[in-house]
Amino acid sequence: MASKVYYMDDRAKAIQDSLVAKMLTVFEAAGLQNTISPGDTVAIKLHMGEYNNTAYLRPVYARALADKIKDLGGEPMVVDTTTLPYTPFASRTTALDYLNTAYRNGYTPATLGCPVIIGDGFLGADDVRVDLPEGFILKEQYVATAIAMADAMIALTHFKGHPMGVYGGAIKNIGVGCASKKGKYNLHMGGHPKYGLNARPFYPQLCKKSDCASMALCNTVCPENALHISDEGIIWQREKCTGCSACFGILVMCGVGFIPDDYFDSAAAAMADSAKAVMNTFKPGKVGFINMAIDMSPWCDCVSFSDRSFLPNLGVFASMDPVAIDVACLDMATNSYGVPGSIAEEKGVMEPGIRKLTSCGSVIGVDEMIQPNTGEKNGLGKKEYELITVPQPENVLPFLPSMKTVGIKLRPFYGIEHVMPEGGFKRKLDVDLEEVRGNGVGLHGKTHPSKAH
């Protein structure tokens, strides 16, 4: 039987159409409230955005979800984990770095109404080992303690592109995002003799250290001290490399280090294995998924910039199946037009029917279906889905900030002090609006009310 995926688009003409309201509506439609029992500790798992990334999910979604979880009797916490780090500079690689970045991005206990927790501890070593005999490539994984100990989890995911997984969806949000730092070394193939960065082709003869602006980085970036610059140029002690990725971009750019064959493919498969390990730390029925397919930049929220979205906003999805929800998003992306001026135009994939994530998220030609295919193989979920469009609710009351109307609220204040000036505002009695009205182009043949008589 196909897994059910519930969906609302992103068009809005009323209070119930706010994306926050739609997120809560699909939450209910998909039965995600049944994942939470009174007294449960509930992780809201999301990516709080890299330093200077601007496409990550606005904190209001997590806040609304935290309020909802409290209404259901649960105790929410917003959780993410430390990074490998992936880049030369530390902005999320210890809990301290991450909290500073999260607070800068607007994710604070004050905005969320609940604690923000870096689930794998200060350095990323706080984890629980999970055996994974069903794994396609990983046979064990290390899950952040705060996730493994939680009673329930709502994975609130920003669906977008990703340079390694090709897309970032529900599978990646939990597969990578719930893994501790040790777990991230594991799934990024750190130390793997065939797929790991330690196995990458290396061409020291291409090092142009004398006129290289990045030379200082090569001496300081490696946490294992495996890289340094000698009089002859770059020296790399391959056996010391754990595959943390900090030097990855630098060495690819100058051509000295390249990408091992199947590095991205194996890591994309490992993301789905890792996601299965994370699910194994919960009782059945205790994890729900929401995918917000909006602001879809090609390179994830893990980078310190956000390219123009290459797809129009698709909407909000909810499901109990992380594989099905991702495939539903991928299919809708495929069937959408690309955004003019984005990477979709650059790659010539603007028309519906072309797989947008494979075309736009991939750096070196990795297929978007690796994560779902692996997720189906290891028992994480099903690719077959039934998409159910959820109607707009008629009742606006659940989406209002307060039941007090403005009349009830303001009358007593205005009785004490009114904001209107006593003698009225200083304004002209009459003006010729024809001087500023414009030529009416764009009114689609409708007559401006002033010209109707």
CB nearer ligand SF4, residue 33 or residue 214? 214
CB nearer ligand SF4, residue 158 or residue 188? 188
Instruction: Determine the 3-state secondary structure of 234 from DSSP.
Output: strand
CB nearer ligand SF4, residue 22 or residue 200? 200
CB nearer ligand SF4, residue 220 or residue 335? 220
**Least distance to ligand SF4 from the beta carbon of 229, Å?**
6
**Least distance to ligand SF4 from the beta carbon of 221, Å?**
5
Task: With beta carbons less than 8 A apart as the criterion, state whether 3 and 381 touch.
Answer: yes
CB nearer ligand SF4, residue 181 or residue 276? 181
Q: Please choose, from the candidates 306, 417, 393, the residue with its C-alpha nearest in 3D space to the C-alpha of residue 21.
A: 393
**Least distance to ligand SF4 from the beta carbon of 125, Å?**
17
Which one-letter DSSP state was computed for residue 113? S
Distance CA 361, CA 384 (A): 23
User: Letter for the amino acid at 247?
Assistant: C
Residue identified by tokens 């199946």 is 321
Instruction: Please report the DSSP string for 131-146 in residue order.
Output: E-TT-SS-SEEEEEHH
**Least distance to ligand SF4 from the beta carbon of 382, Å?**
36
Which residues of the shown chain bind ligand SF4 in the complex (CB under 6 A)?
A: 197, 207-209, 212, 214-215, 218, 221-222, 224, 226-227, 229, 234, 241-247, 250-251, 254, 256
**Least distance to ligand SF4 from the beta carbon of 334, Å?**
34
CB nearer ligand SF4, residue 209 or residue 377? 209
Residue identified by tokens 């004398």 is 210
Given CA atoms 145, 148, 151, 154 in this order, what sign does their dihedral have? Answer: positive
- For residues 362-394, one letter each, b for 16 or more C-beta atoms within 10 angstroms of the residue's C-beta and e for the rest, the string is beeebebbbbbbbbbebebbbbebebeebeebe
CB nearer ligand SF4, residue 170 or residue 218? 218
Distance CA 153, CA 148 (A): 10
Task: With beta carbons less than 8 A apart as the criterion, state whether 53 and 89 touch.
Answer: no
**Least distance to ligand SF4 from the beta carbon of 351, Å?**
39
Distance CA 198, CA 189 (A): 9
Question: Residue 387 belongs to what H/E stretch?
Answer: strand 385-389
CB nearer ligand SF4, residue 26 or residue 247? 247
Task: With beta carbons less than 8 A apart as the criterion, state whether 331 and 324 touch.
Answer: no
Task: With beta carbons less than 8 A apart as the criterion, state whether 318 and 5 touch.
Answer: yes
Neighbours of 100 (CB within 10 A): 15
CB nearer ligand SF4, residue 71 or residue 224? 224
Q: Helices 370-377 and 263-279 sit at what angle, rounded to 10 degrees? A: 40
Which tokens in the block code for residue 33? 């409230």
CB nearer ligand SF4, residue 25 or residue 245? 245
Distance CA 289, CA 287 (A): 7
CB nearer ligand SF4, residue 155 or residue 234? 234
Number of H helices and number of E strands within the chain? 15, 14
**Least distance to ligand SF4 from the beta carbon of 239, Å?**
10
Instruction: Please report the DSSP string for 322-353 in residue order.
Output: HHHHHHHHHHHHHTSPPPTTSHHHHTT--STT
Distance CA 213, CA 67 (A): 49
**Least distance to ligand SF4 from the beta carbon of 263, Å?**
11
CB nearer ligand SF4, residue 194 or residue 418? 194
Distance CA 253, CA 114 (A): 42
